């Protein structure tokens, strides 16, 4: 039997400078100061590249929307992830008329 304990903590935060945010009930955290975690889910309206570039923690899985037309290059996002030791597990287009993708990367 596994001795692993169930320990889930969900933290909703704005990472970096909040931009185009729907809710005002969150903390603002620098990418450099994110605590260690297993899963990072990002929906950050074109700040994805900046966040990954400055990310010091190493979650096992990163799931992120990437909005190429809003200034976050999908190719640069992939390259940054690979340089940090991630494998692009999945890259799905959400809208064929735009470069709006969901990317899953795994360490």
The tens digit of pLDDT for each residue in 28-44 reads 777 777 767 788 888 87
- Give the alpha-carbon dihedral of 34, 36, 39, 41, to 10 degrees: 0
How would residue 71 be classed by pLDDT, with cut points 50, 70 and 90? low
- Distance, in Å, from the CA atom of 86 to the CA atom of 101, rounded to the nearest integer, reads 17
Of 35 and 101, more confident? 101
Residue 75 DSSP SS3: helix
Tokens 């890259």 sit on residue = 91
Place of tokens 């899963």: 39
Over range 91-103, report the average pLDDT. Answer: 80
Mean pLDDT of 35-60: 84
CB atoms closer than 10 angstroms to residue 14 = 16
Instruction: Give me 32's structure tokens.
Output: 């450099």
Is residue 88 very low, low, confident or very high in pLDDT (cuts 50, 70, 90)? Answer: very high
């Amino acid at each position: 039997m596994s001795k692993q304990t169930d320990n889930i903590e969900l933290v909703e935060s704005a990472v970096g400078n909040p931009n185009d945010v729907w809710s005002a009930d969150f903390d603002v955290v620098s990418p450099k100061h994110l605590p260690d975690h297993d899963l990072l889910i990002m929906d950050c309206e074109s700040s994805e590249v900046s966040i990954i570039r400055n990310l010091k923690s190493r979650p096992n899985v990163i799931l992120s929307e990437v909005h190429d037309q809003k200034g976050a290059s999908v190719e640069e996002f992939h390259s940054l992830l690979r340089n940090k030791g991630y494998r692009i597990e999945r890259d799905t287009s959400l809208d064929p008329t735009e470069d709006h993708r969901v990317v899953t990367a795994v360490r």
